[in-house]
Amino acid sequence: MARIIYSLIIVMAFSINAMAQTFTLQGKVTDRDNNPIELASVTVPSQNRLVMTNLKGEYSMEVQSADSVVVRFSMVGYKAKTRVLRNPKGKQTLLIQLFDDNTLQELQVVETVRQTGTTQQLDIKDIQNAPSASGNAVEDLIQSQAGVSTHSELSSQYNVRGGSFDENSLYINSVEVYRPFLVRSGQQEGLSAINPDMVEKILFSSGGFEAKYGDKMSSVLDITYKKPKDFEASISASLLGATAYMGFSTKKLSWINGVRYKTNRYLLGTLETKGEYNPNFLDYQTYLSYQPNKRWTFDIIGNINENHYNFKPEDRETKFGTMENVKSFKVYFDGQEKDLFRTYFGSVGITRHINDNTKISLIGSAFYTKESERYDIQGQYWLTQTETSENLGVGTYMDHTRNYLEANVQSLKLMFNTKIKKHSIEAGLTYKKEHIKENSREYEMRDSAGYSVPHTGNDLYMIYSLNAKNKLNANRFEGYIQDTWKFSSWGEHTFFTLNYGLRFSRWSFNGESILSPRVSLGIIPAFNHDVTFRIATGMYYQAPFFKELRDTTTINHITYATLNDKIKSQRSIHFIGGVDYRFRVKDLPYKFTAEIYYKALSNLVPYSVNNVKVVYYGENRCSGHSMGIDLKLYGQFVPGTDSWLSLSVMDTKMNLNGKSVPMPTDQRYAVNLFFTDYFPHTDRWKMSLKLAYADGLPFGAPHRELETNSFRAPAYKRVDIGMSYRALKNDDRHLKSIFKNIWLGIDGLNLLGINNVNSYYWITDVTSQQYAVPNYLTGRQINGRVLFEF
């Protein structure tokens, strides 16, 4: 009995001692203005203990006592703080104030920002010094994301979850920006509307986005230009172009300027069509922000973009088919092509800061584009079976185009933002005035073995002829209101972010009014703060603008394009579910993201895609769906560098004329890898690897109904690699030099020399036998570059 009592005393003593070894750590984390910082991390590294502050900035956790306990407080965008407690007991209260991290732009913090909505934040620095054939770094970054696809390294355009190029909206500093209308090939594309040197923040959503974003069905890309804290500048040059950037600031004013020049003549020399390529693309942008006091802010953005594409083809030889069945297509050309795309864009914004939480903005903007596409190209061709030298087809074709377009869009936008406790409310009204004038004439003549195709024996017809002379004058009124409500429950350890809103639009051209409700919910559960769940749904419309309106009628083998004022907006209902999981491997951060989606499509306007030219039917004729799953693993595969791997699987269908067919953008699978690494024991040598493997798109013979598309192009496969050497590292200004960094680089574009197919040229003989001749993209090429940062 005495032995039992003794044992109980020992157990109680150990229990009391164990209780004495723990203490309660509690407190609050605020910013410099004493505002609570929510979701800040409070960690005890030696004990692997982590809690996050609630919406009031408060925290509490049980911690094992020791001679010294190190506690770390951190939040993205703030300088971390560390506190050491000596022999802590009972309750310990720490009130911590975090200050802004002014060196944040030098750190790789992207995607450590917790994503609770459907919009993710990306960082342009992830692909700094990465190899690029297009020279448009932001679009290159978007094209490597899950759910996004492209099939041309020459183009900055992209498809998102089965949508067309035209279903993606672009905003720069809250103003919607438009792209040229007449571009039909990646060779013609110049510099995009985004200057990557001027970008501070990139927000991208592949579906389920907020009500503040306009009437597009697939995605939104929201760009914010930066306001530098000090003087900064850079100059870069390569075999594909050059850039210059300069920015500075004072207490009241910040001003940045960027100039870009691009010529892809060197790259186009690897195409199978040989000739004299003379493309020249020039872009200038400026952003000025003036804040005379804390109540007023004035912003001005200006952009001049001029793209010239001149081409005199000489000859082409393409071999295609299988190992046992090889065909050769030989062409000799006469003629030339001259294209011009001139764009002006500007905006002026005035913001009145009512108080620290409320502001009203008035933004006026104007977009003007003048485009011309002119070519007369004649080709004499021979199609031969190489094994037997049999002549399968011989003839002449001639393409003629005179396309002219002018567009002018003016808008006035009033915005209201306020924060009330746990709510962030935003509303906006926009009035747009649209004027577009088109004058187009196209025809294509084919002569096969001395007979004009199509051959009737009596009449002479072109295989294709189009006339279009249209004017559009319309007004568009848009409005939205949304609220982001952040709240917590279950002991204030489960966090919710609820975004809900309503969007309204009316267009005078067709008299249509549309209403678009949208809602999303993000949940950080109490059982694991490294997990985030997201669900979203909403009704999204693709409001017709110009391309979708062009309805065609064929009379006596001549097609006439007119504007259909009966057309309605295409509609897509999004259902999205996603999860993020953050974890560490060997103390390196990673994030795994998975999203499933289903889009119910109705009132669709069918379209065909040739290269990057989208041609619409001009009327609402079908319905359909798009569904799939997107997976992405992002993290530091190598310490100090960011890399990611994405996988997308998708299925699209549309019901057209009683037949279910895949949509023209039906890319069933895609894999993208972006990997960066440094040479061992040095940060001067950096390697960037880009890999893309994507399913080919369905296609069929031109000038036929989409339901006859019975072919699928080969998969798009491409590997680009870039090597960069930091010749000068002077970030901390330890050297007396005007340079901050000097980078030298060399890129291997299309490293494996794979012949990717972008489109097809169709040969028709006098017996109506058709042959699809592939148009291959660029081959293997080396690019050298240099970057000076001041």
Q: Three-state SS across 357-420?
A: CEEEEEEEEEEEEEEEEEEEEEEEEEEEECCCCEEEEEEEEEEEEEEEEEEEEEEEEEEEEEEE
Question: Does residue 31 have a pLDDT over 60?
Answer: yes
Name the band, by pLDDT with cuts 50, 70 and 90, for residue 99. confident
Q: Taking the model in full, what pTM does it have?
A: 0.85
Q: What is the pLDDT of residue 188?
A: 81
Across residues 670-686, what is the average pLDDT? 87
Question: Does residue 535 have a pLDDT over 60?
Answer: yes
Per-residue pLDDT tens digits for 393-418: 788 888 899 999 999 999 999 999 99
Match 């920006």 to its residue by tokens.
177
Question: Does residue 773 have a pLDDT over 80?
Answer: yes
Per-residue pLDDT tens digits for 311-365: 898 898 888 887 778 888 899 989 999 999 999 999 999 999 999 899 999 999 9
Question: Does residue 455 have a pLDDT over 90?
Answer: no
Q: What is the pLDDT of residue 669?
A: 93
CB 310 within 8 A of CB 337: yes
Burial of 137 (0-12, 13-18, 19+ CB in 10 A): buried
Question: Does residue 20 have a pLDDT over 60?
Answer: no
| CA nearest neighbour of 604 among 566, 578, 635, 572 | 572
Question: Does residue 4 have a pLDDT over 60?
Answer: no
Cα separation, 112 vs 119, in Å, equals: 14
Name the band, by pLDDT with cuts 50, 70 and 90, for residue 451. low
CB 274 within 8 A of CB 318: no
Name the band, by pLDDT with cuts 50, 70 and 90, for residue 588. confident
Q: What is the pLDDT of residue 118?
A: 87
Match 């990673």 to its residue by tokens.
590
Per the omega criterion (within 30 degrees of 0), is the bond before 36 cis? no
Burial of 5 (0-12, 13-18, 19+ CB in 10 A): exposed
Question: Does residue 566 have a pLDDT over 60?
Answer: yes
Ranking 106-120, 568-582, 759-773 by mean pLDDT, the lowest is 106-120
Between 733 and 412, the more confident residue is: 412
Across residues 511-521, what is the average pLDDT? 95
Question: Does residue 389 have a pLDDT over 90?
Answer: no
Within 8 A by CB and 6+ apart from 2, the residues are none
Q: What is the pLDDT of residue 8?
A: 47
CB 697 within 8 A of CB 667: yes
Q: What is the pLDDT of residue 766?
A: 62
Q: What is the pLDDT of residue 362?
A: 96
Between 643 and 392, the more confident residue is: 643
Q: What is the pLDDT of residue 111?
A: 39
Match 């966090």 to its residue by tokens.
495
Question: Does residue 729 have a pLDDT over 80?
Answer: yes
Within 8 A by CB and 6+ apart from 387, the residues are 324, 325, 326
Cα separation, 64 vs 49, in Å, equals: 10
Question: Does residue 17 have a pLDDT over 60?
Answer: no
Name the band, by pLDDT with cuts 50, 70 and 90, for residue 494. confident
Taking only Cα atoms into account, the Rg of the chain, rounded to an integer number of angstroms, comes to: 30
Residue 634, CA distances (Å) to 121, 141, 578 in order: 13, 13, 15
Q: What is the pLDDT of residue 770?
A: 78
Question: Does residue 292 have a pLDDT over 90?
Answer: yes
Q: What is the pLDDT of residue 10?
A: 46
Q: Which two tokens stand for residue 599?
A: 């889009």
Within 8 A by CB and 6+ apart from 217, the residues are 163, 167, 540, 541, 542, 570, 571, 572, 599, 601
Terminal-residue alpha carbon distance, the chain? 84
Ranking 70-84, 113-127, 674-688 by mean pLDDT, the lowest is 113-127
CB 684 within 8 A of CB 725: yes
Q: What is the pLDDT of residue 645?
A: 94
Q: What is the pLDDT of residue 459?
A: 64
Between 636 and 12, the more confident residue is: 636
Q: What is the pLDDT of residue 481?
A: 97
Cα separation, 277 vs 266, in Å, equals: 9
Q: What is the pLDDT of residue 242?
A: 93
Q: What is the pLDDT of residue 690?
A: 93
CB 180 within 8 A of CB 199: no
Bridging pattern class, strands 607-610 and 613-616: antiparallel
Q: What is the pLDDT of residue 460?
A: 67
Question: Does residue 103 have a pLDDT over 50?
Answer: no
Backbone angles phi, psi at 611, to 5 degrees: 65, -115
